[in-house]
Structures are given as C-alpha cells and as structure tokens.
Structure 1
Amino acid sequence: MTRRLPGLRRAARSGAGPSPRTAATSAARWGWRYRPRPCLRAIGSERDRDLGEKVDEVAQTPEQEDGDDDLWSKRAHLHVSDDFLPAGLAERLRGSFDERFADPKQGGPERFAWDYWHVPDQYNLLRTPAKAYFSEEDYRELEDALLAYGQDKLGCSRMTPAWLSCYVDGCYQNFHADNPHGPWAFVLSLTRSADRFEGGATTIMKPSVLEYWRSYDSFKGCEFGDVFDTVAPQFNRLTVFDPRIPHGVSRVRGTQDPREGRLVLHGWYADPTPFFDGALDEDTVQGALSECLEKIGEELQQMPPAIGMLSIRIKVLEDGSVESLDWLSDTLVPIPGAPVLALDGASVEPPEDARQLILEVIVENLAEVAFPKADGATEITIPFLFQ
C-alpha cells in the first residue's frame, strides 16, 4: 500500500508564471470544519446547493446523511455547480463554436478540427483539444476558472488539458472508469438547447451499488434512480465526480445539427500536490510540516488499507497556531475484506470505523503543528493520496 505525501509549493497567482496550470487560491471554505481542541468536533458544513431538479439531484451515500455527525469528513463522489463561468466567458466560448458552424456550406480549415472517435460499443462522439479550438485569451480564462475551483473546493492545483466534445444523434459513452487520469473528473456544459434532443446526461453509478449487499433490503425495490445519478447538460453547468466510479453519457437521440447537440468541455484534475498561500515562506512551511507528515505517514501504515483522496486545508494564524482544519474533498474508501485492527488491538467494524481511524490520525497530528510567528495568516492545503 503506497500513500504519497508529495512536497509543498506556493500557490501561483492567476496569470503569473510560465504555466497556466496553476491559479490563485481562495480563502473560501467548503466541507466540514474543525478547530483544534482536546476533543475536536465538527462545527458546521456547507453542502452543494439543491438544484431543485430530480434528474440533477446529488445522491447522498450513507456517509453523507444529515445527522450523521460522528464522522469528521463526509465522503462525496459528485458535485454540481450551475452558472460556473462568468456569463461573458461562457457566451464567448459558445459563440466561437456557433460561428464555425453557422454556414454548413462553408469549408474553412477550422471546421476540420474534429476527431470522430468511435470505439464499437464503448465510445461514439466528436472531439477536439479545447486549447487549439478557442482563442488563447478565452482558453486562459477558462483554465484559470477551473483551476481556481480545483484549489478552493477540491485541494487540487493542476489539471489535464481540456477536451471539447460534441454529441449528435447516435453519440454516447458507454460505462467505463477513468484510471489513472486523476482523482476528479470535470464536465462543463456549453450545450445551448438541451431540449432539442433526448439523452446526453452524464450518468454515474451510485457508490452504494458497488457495495450492494451491504445495504441490501429484501423489502425495497430497485430502479434506475436507485442505481445511477444523472446530470443533465445544462448550459454553464460544472459537474465534478470521482472518475473511478463507472460512468458514461446516455445516447443522444434527435438532432444531427452540431449547434443543437450536446457540447461539453471535459478533463481531469490531476497530480494533486500540497500548496500554500500567505505570509509564511516555503522553507518555513516545509520545515514545520515535515516531522508531522512523516509521523502521519508512519501511523497510516498501521491503519486499515484504503484507496482514494483526502484533502485538508489548515489555517495558521500570525502567532503560528493552527486555527482551523477544513476538509475539502474526500473519496476515501476502505478496501473490502482487508484486515481491520486498531493500534490498541481493538477490533474495527468496516468500513466507516476504518475511515474514522484514518481521519483521526490526520486531524490529531495536523492540529498540533506549531509554526513560527509571521506577519499574517497562511493557508496550507494538503492532499493525501491512498493508492
């Protein structure tokens, strides 16, 4: 079992540096928040807002149910954000596509940028690299927005180059898993007229199905909505999900006009590494955390084996104390059938007791780190990868 704790680096400012792969971090928080004290307790949470549409409902796993306050972090496989991009940018991106297809009798070179990707019974769609399709300025703004979301909400500061894909009648993606592209996948819809066709929804298997017999109820039926989450391709909607879970795109039926089909940008948040922003410098942050991370790594080796990602953000005050610890994203899943035994020899009932042990190790060690005094506060984001 390999658990990576990569090195730290400072979060890059938007537009700074040679690479657009990094963007400014934000002080906003998402997830469960903790303050260091002899016995830590969750003091609040922010959840993805209710979209008000059954088809776009983000299903809660048993680990996410309201009132289940004995866990320090809530596992979540799917996040949906409407009106993601600034309206002007979303319209410009969509306008670039519409302009190229405005006159079907014109045969300019920009119309020949598409790859017809066909793998029998698996993939059938049109795709092209987004960076080469849009203007440099628009693509830079798009990437900055996606990276800012990744840093703020997920604890990821890098992403793969985005694809632009178009689906007309007969296009689809059959169920598959994206391994090993990255810990989170994203789909940003530029679809203008979803009412012109049927299908085209991002369809994701519910995690509970992967542990079907654990929650089996012989008195309860099982239908499509109990097995899959579906997210319609509404214009300027961002969908982020755990790509390890089987997912696909339902077959589009109806239109053969590219301007009326499903149009989406998609890719992955990749290679998560720790980053920080604030008054402390890199050497100071690295020095204060190195012993703590080494201890966490040693203790995690004794924990029940698990796979997934945990991202945590700590806020360090001017006096060097850790004021708060906030969970950003959590896809950690204990490996079924693995031996589970606490450090004190007590037996553990999988899977959530095993998760709790891992969370306790991380939180308790990070809460005790002491940093040097500085001229201001610092936020440090640390992703833990379990492989």
Structure 2
Amino acid sequence: LDIVAGMTRRLPGLRRAARSGAGRSPRTAATSAARWGWRYRPRPCLRAIGSERDRDLGEKVDEVAQTPEQEDGDDDLWSKRAHLHVSDDFLPAGLAERLRGSFDERFADPKQGGPERFAWDYWHVPDQYNLLRTPAKAYFSEEDYRELEDALLAYGQDKLGCSRMTPAWLSCYVDGCYQNFHADNPHGPWAFVLSLTRSADRFEGGATTIMKPSVLEYWRSYDSFKGCEFGDVFDTVAPQFNRLTVFDPRIPHGVSRVRGTQDPREGRLVLHGWYADPTPFFDGALDEDTVQGALSECLEKIGEELQQMPPAIGMLSIRIKVLEDGSVESLDWLSDTLVPIPGAPVLALDGASVEPPEDARQLILEVIVENLAEVAFPKADGATEITI
C-alpha cells in the first residue's frame, strides 16, 4: 500500500492474475521490466522444491538480515518504522570474490590499455557528484551478474516486499571523490549499496552518510538541555567488504569525500541501485482467483477508510500468513517508511485531535491490520503467504 495524502493508490498488478507467486503475470511483468530496464524475478511456490543454489541463497539472505530498529517509540505496537537496514556477508563468499576479482584483474597492470579499461564514466557535477561509474551488467560476466541480481531480488522480496530493481551501477571512488547530500525520490522506495571495497583502511572517508529522520522534524524533539553533534544528525555506514546497506532514499544522503589513495584497487568500490515498483505477490496452496477475490473487497474497504485518516506518505509492505482453514494466522511488517505529512490537519474519525504524529500512524496501521486480519479465505491443502 502506497499511502499518499490519506488515500490509497492501487499498485500495478493488484487486480491481475498472480502466477508463480507474483502479483502480475510473468509476461506482463517482463514487458514492464524490459521497458524500464528492470529485472523481474517471480517467487518460487512454497510447495515447489527449488534448486540447491536457490535454497542456499535463501538461507544466506535469512541469515544476514537484521531486525529493523524501532524509531517511533514503544507505543507503536503495530509496526516498526525503519529507514536503514545493514546486512554483513550478504553475498555467498565465492560470488563476492569473483566480482571483486573481475575488477582487480582489469587494473592489475596499469600499463595495459585494453578496451575493458575504458568502460568508466567520470561523473562530475560541481559541488554535488564526483566519482567513476559504469553499468554493472556490462562490466561483469553474464553468469556473475545474474547471480548478483538473484541475491538482491531475493532480499527485496523476502525482506522489503519489492519484486523489482533498477539496473545496478558499479562506482569507484579514489582521492577527491564524493557524493554531496541529495535525495533519490523518483527512483524507488528503497536504495541499496553493496560494497566490494577491499581495503577501507587505505583511505579516509567513503562512508554512506544518511540524515537521521529525527532531524527532519528537529523542533519536535528539540531539547534545550542537550547538545547536538555529528552522530546525532547522521547515520554513517562504512564500506566494509560484502556489506549490503539498504535505506529510504527520500532522506538526504551522500558519500563522504575519499582522501588518500589514487589507486582504483585501493579505493571505495560499490554496487548500487534501487528497489522499484513494489507489487503484490503470493506463495502457497491458494490459487490466483481465490487470493484476488478474497482481498479485493478488503482492500476496497481499507481504501475508503484511509481517505478519512490523517494524511501520510511512505511505503508499507505486509506479509499475511493464511492457514489451511482459510484463517489469517499472522501479519508481518516487511517495510515501513510511513511518515505523517507535517502541518496537515490530524483528526480521528470522531473528530478528536491526534497528537503526536505517531498517533496518526497508529490510526492508519490499525485500519490496515484490523481489516486484513478479518479476511476469510477458502480452505486449501496448505498454507499461503501473501505479500501486499
């Protein structure tokens, strides 16, 4: 559910038949993905037995995923808003080493002038961007890039509720390279940075730097008895090898200036891009028409009630577990970047004033949870997981 100005926008594919656990048919998804240059990866059915590599990959993603920190206080019982996720040792070790090795091999002999060394764009926008970059798909072997995308898409589906990603960039930072603060609003609900940096001790800087959400509402949490320093304003994530950093790209962020090495092999090397266009999908025993039919009325009701809720903007991704008897066993929040719109009138259904903004979030989340928990699905031969 993408909640904007107190209203719901139906996500693409919500009314389409879901195949192999996707919110739209593979053909339709592939067509849309091709138009924008994105890749689409249908989730395997829970009843199907995947390949050994797929099972190993899924276990790896589950192993490194971290629980989002709660940013809204203990009173928010429904969901935990989180703008930043960090997962170490993200890729299988062999794949991470092969990707890094491809880069090192091309720069092993600085006197060689093969065409593969001329693939880099020196991106310089005064006072904003200064770095070397190249499309990752054209840089790595087809097999390695496919495995890389599979790992990133598996994480996006399992942890964020996103089934697509934009093409990844490979960027290199040597002395003087940086990204000044900016926001990537048009690209997608989550940005990712996967570090292939081998020698972070060879330079200073190079950290992904993200403004803390509390700074965007500075006066609401202002304390005249408490000082404010760099660590109170920014989160920083060092470019450790094989570390995945995922964050809300609406929040101002950048890369601190690299100082020291001029050798590309000793600089900051990262893969980066965005998760895009979240769409509903499901796995399990229920068929497409059954899932769609049971959810349509519920989502329609949620949409009507949210029009009366306090206005907010952000992404909510929910996974519903349906038991064999058709009852909803649990609701799990995957992504939550929902933020009440500052300055907008905040009223409950009975006309009472709602303050602080966390209470506005609570009203919205209660509407969603209460309606989804009451959906009755037909009986089936097994459980089903539905991601909205």
- Bin the TM-score by the shorter chain: 0.7 to 0.9
The change in CA–CA distance for 1:35 and 1:120 in structure 2 (over 3 A counts) is closer
The change in CA–CA distance for 1:68 and 1:9 in structure 2 (over 3 A counts) is same
Show CA shifts across 1:272-312 (max 9, x none).
01111111111111111000000001111111100100111
How far residue 329 of structure 1 moved from its aligned partner, in angstroms, is 1.1
The change in CA–CA distance for 1:10 and 1:32 in structure 2 (over 3 A counts) is closer
How far residue 33 of structure 1 moved from its aligned partner, in angstroms, is 30
Corresponding residue number in structure 1 for 2:3? none
How far residue 8 of structure 1 moved from its aligned partner, in angstroms, is 3.8
Q: Give me the whole-angstrom Cα distance separating, in 2, the residues matched to 1:282 and 1:366.
A: 18
Q: Give me the whole-angstrom Cα distance separating, in 2, the residues matched to 1:143 and 1:36.
A: 13
How far residue 63 of structure 1 moved from its aligned partner, in angstroms, is 8.6
How far residue 347 of structure 1 moved from its aligned partner, in angstroms, is 1.8
Q: Which of these residues, 199, 204, 207, is aligned with residue 210 of structure 2?
A: 204
SS at match of 1:175: strand
The change in CA–CA distance for 1:68 and 1:160 in structure 2 (over 3 A counts) is same
2:16·2:25 contact (CA, 8 Å) conserved in 1? Answer: no
How far residue 343 of structure 1 moved from its aligned partner, in angstroms, is 1.2
The change in CA–CA distance for 1:372 and 1:53 in structure 2 (over 3 A counts) is closer
Of stretches 274-283 and 207-216 in structure 1, the one that deviates more from structure 2 is: 274-283
1:30·1:328 contact (CA, 8 Å) conserved in 2? Answer: no
The change in CA–CA distance for 1:65 and 1:44 in structure 2 (over 3 A counts) is farther
The change in CA–CA distance for 1:229 and 1:55 in structure 2 (over 3 A counts) is farther
Q: Give me the whole-angstrom Cα distance separating, in 2, the residues matched to 1:44 and 1:138.
A: 19
Of stretches 37-46 and 247-256 in structure 1, the one that deviates more from structure 2 is: 37-46
SS at match of 1:164: strand
Show CA shifts across 1:220-249 (max 9, x none).
111100000000000000000000000000
The change in CA–CA distance for 1:35 and 1:93 in structure 2 (over 3 A counts) is closer
Are positions 1:35 and 2:41 aligned together?
Answer: yes
1:203·1:228 contact (CA, 8 Å) conserved in 2? Answer: yes
Q: Give me the whole-angstrom Cα distance separating, in 1, the residues matched to 2:368 and 2:103.
A: 46
The change in CA–CA distance for 1:129 and 1:28 in structure 2 (over 3 A counts) is closer
The change in CA–CA distance for 1:176 and 1:52 in structure 2 (over 3 A counts) is farther
The change in CA–CA distance for 1:288 and 1:361 in structure 2 (over 3 A counts) is same
The change in CA–CA distance for 1:211 and 1:120 in structure 2 (over 3 A counts) is same
2:18·2:282 contact (CA, 8 Å) conserved in 1? Answer: no
Corresponding residue number in structure 1 for 2:226? 220
SS at match of 1:48: helix
Show CA shifts across 1:63-106 (max 9, x none).
92697144311111000000000000000000000011111111
1:21·1:147 contact (CA, 8 Å) conserved in 2? Answer: no
2:190·2:274 contact (CA, 8 Å) conserved in 1? Answer: yes
How far residue 150 of structure 1 moved from its aligned partner, in angstroms, is 0.6
2:131·2:172 contact (CA, 8 Å) conserved in 1? Answer: yes
How far residue 57 of structure 1 moved from its aligned partner, in angstroms, is 19
2:175·2:258 contact (CA, 8 Å) conserved in 1? Answer: yes
Q: Give me the whole-angstrom Cα distance separating, in 2, the residues matched to 1:35 and 1:90.
A: 21
How far residue 4 of structure 1 moved from its aligned partner, in angstroms, is 3.4
Q: Give me the whole-angstrom Cα distance separating, in 1, the residues matched to 2:167 and 2:339.
A: 28
1:29·1:152 contact (CA, 8 Å) conserved in 2? Answer: no
The change in CA–CA distance for 1:291 and 1:73 in structure 2 (over 3 A counts) is same
Show CA shifts across 1:240-260 (max 9, x none).
000000000000000010000
Q: Which of these residues, 111, 131, 137, is aligned with residue 137 of structure 2?
A: 131
Segments of 5+ residues of structure 1 without an aligned counterpart are 383-387
How far residue 62 of structure 1 moved from its aligned partner, in angstroms, is 13
Q: Which of these residues, 52, 62, 71, is aligned with residue 56 of structure 1?
A: 62
1:32·1:74 contact (CA, 8 Å) conserved in 2? Answer: no
Corresponding residue number in structure 2 for 1:363? 369
2:166·2:274 contact (CA, 8 Å) conserved in 1? Answer: yes
> What is the CA RMSD across the aligned residues, in angstroms?
8.1
SS at match of 2:184: coil
Corresponding residue number in structure 2 for 1:269? 275
2:170·2:272 contact (CA, 8 Å) conserved in 1? Answer: yes
How far residue 264 of structure 1 moved from its aligned partner, in angstroms, is 0.2
Are positions 1:376 and 2:376 aligned together?
Answer: no
The change in CA–CA distance for 1:237 and 1:374 in structure 2 (over 3 A counts) is same
1:26·1:148 contact (CA, 8 Å) conserved in 2? Answer: no
The change in CA–CA distance for 1:256 and 1:62 in structure 2 (over 3 A counts) is closer
1:28·1:152 contact (CA, 8 Å) conserved in 2? Answer: no
The change in CA–CA distance for 1:52 and 1:222 in structure 2 (over 3 A counts) is farther
Q: Give me the whole-angstrom Cα distance separating, in 1, the residues matched to 2:95 and 2:243.
A: 13
* TM-score normalised according to structure 1 size: 0.85
1:11·1:25 contact (CA, 8 Å) conserved in 2? Answer: no
Q: Give me the whole-angstrom Cα distance separating, in 1, the residues matched to 2:349 and 2:303.
A: 14
The change in CA–CA distance for 1:86 and 1:59 in structure 2 (over 3 A counts) is closer
How far residue 318 of structure 1 moved from its aligned partner, in angstroms, is 1.1
Q: Give me the whole-angstrom Cα distance separating, in 2, the residues matched to 1:23 and 1:7.
A: 9
Segments of 5+ residues of structure 2 without an aligned counterpart are 1-6
How far residue 350 of structure 1 moved from its aligned partner, in angstroms, is 3.2
Of stretches 316-325 and 190-199 in structure 1, the one that deviates more from structure 2 is: 316-325
* TM-score normalised according to structure 2 size: 0.85
Show CA shifts across 1:153-207 (max 9, x none).
1111111010000000000000000011000000000000000000000000000
Alignment of 1:1-387 (within 5 A): 3-8=9-14, 64=70, 68-382=74-388
The change in CA–CA distance for 1:161 and 1:172 in structure 2 (over 3 A counts) is same
User: Greater share of helix residues, 1 or 2?
Assistant: 2
The change in CA–CA distance for 1:301 and 1:43 in structure 2 (over 3 A counts) is farther
SS at match of 1:28: helix
Of stretches 338-347 and 203-212 in structure 1, the one that deviates more from structure 2 is: 338-347
Show CA shifts across 1:317-367 (max 9, x none).
111111110011100000011111111222211301100000000000000
The change in CA–CA distance for 1:60 and 1:147 in structure 2 (over 3 A counts) is closer
The change in CA–CA distance for 1:32 and 1:8 in structure 2 (over 3 A counts) is closer
1:168·1:257 contact (CA, 8 Å) conserved in 2? Answer: yes
